[in-house]
Structures are given as structure tokens and as C-alpha cells.
Amino acid sequence: MKKIQDKPGGRPAKKRTEKQKKVVSTKLTELQYYAIWKRAGEAGLRISEYVRQAVISAEVIPRLNRQDADAIRKLVGEANNINQLAHRANAGGFALVAVELVKLKNRIVEIINHLSDDWKNKKRKRF
């Protein structure tokens, strides 16, 4: 039996690191499939190559972790406090709530500092 090296012509054998042996499958809606098909065509790539490049170069935003969820819950509570202070300021004057507003601002800054970097850098678009 002849080995590939013994045969003249033809494509050279790929190195072990270049062979694509693993398959990852996923389900798409027709709309998603045709959107990828269109983008691949515009890029001049086959769908498989387009998806491969997109997956490798994509940045994945991890799910909301427990600490960030707690911090966001606290921020919502502080928003309620701001609203209550605004009502008190409208009723009795700003001077009555000025000290409380400074304390509230400091608590909000502390909560924001406990958020992970992806939240502070606005990488997340929604909760």
C-alpha cells in the first residue's frame, strides 16, 4: 500500500494541529440561518468558515453573577430612597434633605464599586 508521500501530485497532507475533527452543532430559526448565510456570502466565506471565525473571535458576556444581582437590587432600593428624598425636598426644601442626599450618594458609589467590571464598563446591554 502506498502512503500519501509516495503518490505524486495532489494536496499535501494536513498537520495534526490543522485537522478539524470536532463537530459542534446548533439549531437556528430560518431567519437566523438566512442572516448567517447572507453575512457569509457578503464576506466571501462558506457558512461553516464564517461561523467558525465568528465563534472564535466573539466576546461572550457571562451571565449575571450573584454579587452583581445583589448590587443591582441594592441600587433599585437606593433609587426608591432618592424618590422619597425628592418628595421631601419638594415639600419642605432642599436644606432638609441635603445631608441625607450626600450619604445616599456615597452608598450608591460604594454599591457601584462592588459591581464587576463588565457592568461598570457598560458591556451589558440589559439585565
37 within a domain of the structure (yes/no): yes
Say how many domains are in the chain.
Answer: 2
* Per-residue pLDDT reduced to its tens digit, 46-55: 999 999 999 9
> Residue 34 belongs to what domain range?
24-58
**pLDDT of the residue at 127:** 42
6 within a domain of the structure (yes/no): no
* Whole-number Å distance between alpha carbons of 52 and 43: 13
From the list 100, 66, 65, the residue with the least C-alpha distance to 86 is 100
Q: Are 22 and 55 in contact (CB under 8 A)?
A: no
Do 32 and 74 share a domain, yes or no?
A: no
44 within a domain of the structure (yes/no): yes
Q: What would the mean pLDDT of 31-53 be, rounded to a whole number?
A: 95
More confident residue, 122 or 34: 34
Do 72 and 112 share a domain, yes or no?
A: yes
> Which of 58, 81, 109 is the last residue before a domain boundary?
58
Name the percent of the chain lying above pLDDT 90.
27
Query: Is residue 87's pLDDT more than 70?
Result: yes
Do 80 and 113 share a domain, yes or no?
A: yes
Q: What are the CA-CA distances from residue 105 to residues 3, 50, 102, 109 (Å)?
A: 75, 47, 5, 6
Do 74 and 35 share a domain, yes or no?
A: no
Instruction: Tell me if the pTM is above 0.75.
Output: no
Q: Given pLDDT bands bounded at 50, 70 and 90, which one contains residue 28? A: very high
